[in-house]
Structure 1
Amino acid sequence: MARKWGGGWMRQALQAASLRRWSRLATEAPGMALPELRNQRRAARRLRARLDDLLHVAEERLALPLTGNQAFPRPADADWAWRPELWRGPLPQPGIASVPEKAKLGAEATLFHDCPRSEITLRQIRNLREADVAPYGLRLDVFRFSGSYLSLAVDLPAEACAGLSRRHLIRAQTIVEMEKPLEIFARLNIRHGPNTEQIVRELPLNAEEIAVEFDLAYTRLNEKRVEGMWLDLIFEGPEMNEVILRDLTFSRSPRAQF
């Protein structure tokens, strides 16, 4: 089997040799014969055009949020924090047109509705704004809407349920953009044995920080039988609107004891 000589050191050596050459030509330019100087100027302009192309692409890509990023503000005492895959990295199937009544996007998100004729599209998008921390966002386009409900369910991982107790607060935080105002409700569902606890909060869309907390102290949670947890984002009056969820993150913290 032929041995592959490391492209790294060879590439560095070639780049160093090219840099030395152009440095030498720049030094010699004041005394260079005019025909030769004209040739070198032509070559330098061609090289500069390619370098400008490389810099343009590199600066654009390196300015984007990093794929897989899990960094986001969270309570100092959080014992678990998480950003779902849809906002963290590229999905194999980035979007769905004419979304059916129950459609999964990735392994963790499912869109539900009851429209007899779907005029709904769902697409993962790349976040490009300087303020974005999440690499990806989710765009929901709704045209004509004849159903009674539209909701996005996000399954939380098993780690969120491990050691879950009524002493915990679950926090959900998001960044939302929309074409026109609408109401969005967040419903936390916790399945324990044959029962499911549900807590509903309205997202404060006019607040600077769009976050809600679910206090499990007010539930009848059977801590020994927790089997799963998910969040429903429920969109009220979504017709003729575009909603972009730039980010969605979760964290879990023990409630302060008094």
Structure 2
Amino acid sequence: MNTLLDRWFHKRTLQRWRSVAGSLEVSDPADLRVYRDRARALLTYIDRTIHFADGQLALPRIGSSSFPKPHGTDWSWRPSLWRGPLAARGLASPDRKVRLDEDVVLFHDCDTSEITLRQLRNTRVADLAPFGLKLDVFKFNGSFLSLAITLPPEARQGITRSHLFRLDTIVEKEQPVGVIARLNVQHGPNTEQIVRQLPHDATEASAEFDLAYTKMNDKRIEKIWLDLILEQPAMNQVVLRDLTLCRHHRADL
């Protein structure tokens, strides 16, 4: 609340306590007890407000797309799942294909889905992404569990085979698990794929996808998406703290 009346009351309260503080040395013990008790009562709520506000204001700002980028980056993006709250923050026993938001779709091929997902508010000092995604996987009898992340149209504008895409991830794992990143570029009837294996035991990992090694027709690109595939995820907890993509030109040799 920040109305004119609120500001007036706040100003009067400050004036009142300034006057009390200035008269303490000449106050009698009865008045001092009253001032002390009232000040303690106020302090309880003041401390609670400051503690909560400091904690909230220290969190990454919702909607933030801020993250380090290589020199020469001409496009960068953090998918909306890591920028803002989902309509449904949690999901249990998902179907084989579930759209989590406009950018991200979960796929798996389990007969019985013992998987739960929950969006988390990132609170660590090092976090740049406002949100993360936690997956708890129990029994898993399928062959794959993946997130398909569709890049926005801006990622295709002005693209050439001299470009590289860079993926940066922060993935916390209860047990080491393999993560495969596969960039897919659909051009006409064809789809080019570049596959990278992320380290099993690293929390922060990067991968680059060099389009020079594809037969991509940059005049006919219709869609670009990233598959993030978890290998043998059974009996594990995986938290995707952040995921960002950027595009830049290959350095001249």
State TM-score, norm by structure 2: 0.96
Alpha-carbon deviation of 1:12? 2.9
Name the residue aligned to 1:16: 11
| One-letter amino acid of the structure 2 residue matched with residue 229 of structure 1 | I
Alignment of structure 1 residues 144-159 onto 2, 5 Å:
144-159=139-154
Alpha-carbon deviation of 1:198? 0.6
| One-letter amino acid of the structure 1 residue matched with residue 16 of structure 2 | R
Alpha-carbon deviation of 1:8? 4.2
Q: In 2, are the aligned partners of 1:80 and 1:251 still within 8 Å (CA)?
A: yes
Q: 1:88 aligns with which of 78, 83, 91?
A: 83
Q: Deviations over 1:171-209 (max 9, x none)?
A: 010001000011100000111111111110001344574
Instruction: State how far apart, in whole Å, the 1-side matches of 2:85 and 2:203 are.
Output: 28
Name the residue aligned to 1:230: 225
Alpha-carbon deviation of 1:76? 1.5
Q: 1:221 aligns with which of 216, 219, 224?
A: 216
Alignment of structure 1 residues 16-165 onto 2, 5 Å:
16-165=11-160
Q: In 1, are the aligned partners of 2:163 and 2:211 still within 8 Å (CA)?
A: yes
Unaligned stretches of 5+ residues in structure 2: none
- Give the % identical residues: 52
Q: Deviations over 1:90-114 (max 9, x none)?
A: 1111121101100111111111111
Q: Name the SS for the 1:79 alignment partner.
A: strand
| One-letter amino acid of the structure 1 residue matched with residue 179 of structure 2 | I
Aligned pairs, how many? 253
| One-letter amino acid of the structure 2 residue matched with residue 255 of structure 1 | R
Alpha-carbon deviation of 1:70? 0.8
Unaligned stretches of 5+ residues in structure 1: 1-5
Name the residue aligned to 1:257: 252
| One-letter amino acid of the structure 1 residue matched with residue 226 of structure 2 | L
Name the residue aligned to 1:3: none
| One-letter amino acid of the structure 2 residue matched with residue 145 of structure 1 | F
| One-letter amino acid of the structure 2 residue matched with residue 125 of structure 1 | L
Q: Name the SS for the 2:219 alignment partner.
A: helix
| One-letter amino acid of the structure 1 residue matched with residue 50 of structure 2 | L
Alpha-carbon deviation of 1:144? 0.1
Q: Name the SS for the 2:193 alignment partner.
A: strand
Q: Name the SS for the 2:53 alignment partner.
A: helix
| One-letter amino acid of the structure 2 residue matched with residue 45 of structure 1 | R
Alignment of structure 1 residues 153-192 onto 2, 5 Å:
153-192=148-187
Instruction: State how far apart, in whole Å, the 1-side matches of 2:231 and 2:204 are.
Output: 20
Q: Deviations over 1:110-161 (max 9, x none)?
A: 1111101100111111111111111100111100001111111111100001
Q: In 2, are the aligned partners of 1:204 and 1:211 still within 8 Å (CA)?
A: no
State TM-score, norm by structure 1: 0.94
Out of 217-226 and 204-213, give the one that drifted further.
204-213
Q: In 2, are the aligned partners of 1:154 and 1:231 still within 8 Å (CA)?
A: yes
Instruction: State how far apart, in whole Å, the 1-side matches of 2:144 and 2:84 are.
Output: 28
| One-letter amino acid of the structure 1 residue matched with residue 14 of structure 2 | L
Alpha-carbon deviation of 1:43? 1.1
Instruction: State how far apart, in whole Å, the 1-side matches of 2:193 and 2:128 are.
Output: 30
